[in-house]
Amino acid sequence: MTMSRLSSPKNPLVAPETDVEQTPNTRLIPPYNLILYNDDDHSMEFVVQVLCKALGYAVERAILFMLEAHTSGRAIVWTGSREVAELKLEQMRTFHEIRERDQANLGPLHCDIEPA
């Protein structure tokens, strides 16, 4: 409990003293992970490009995430609020790889969000 001096008889512009109990009513929002999954369709170069363009990562960091997904099957590439995770997921899904040899559209990377 804190005491707050808000007024005095000498200063009529200030409110009278009151007891103000300050209880933290802060509820933490659970974080969400943006997961990149390994797949056999997309090139490693494409994955790195998407991580750089969609998430703003430096090439070196994007390579580390790509290698983690490639070797372990998945990589947590971003963690934060659900709303921002959904936005970043959609941003990553806007990129589609076109295979050079037959011009096939390989679609977006396999990624999703989940509670952290």
Cα–Cα distance for residue pair 83/40, rounded to 1 Å: 29
What is the reported pTM?
0.74
Please provide the average confidence, as pLDDT, over all residues in the chain.
87
Which range, 6-10, 11-15, 40-44, has the best average confidence (pLDDT)? 40-44
Strands (E), 2-100: 2-4, 18-20, 32-37, 74-80, 97-98
In the chain, what are the domain boundaries?
32-115
Cα–Cα distance for residue pair 56/31, rounded to 1 Å: 20
Per DSSP, the three-state class of 60 is helix
* pLDDT computed for residue 1 by the predictor: 46
Q: Is the pLDDT of residue 29 over 70?
A: yes
What is the third-level CATH fold of 32-115?
Ribosomal Protein L30; Chain: A, (3.30.1390)
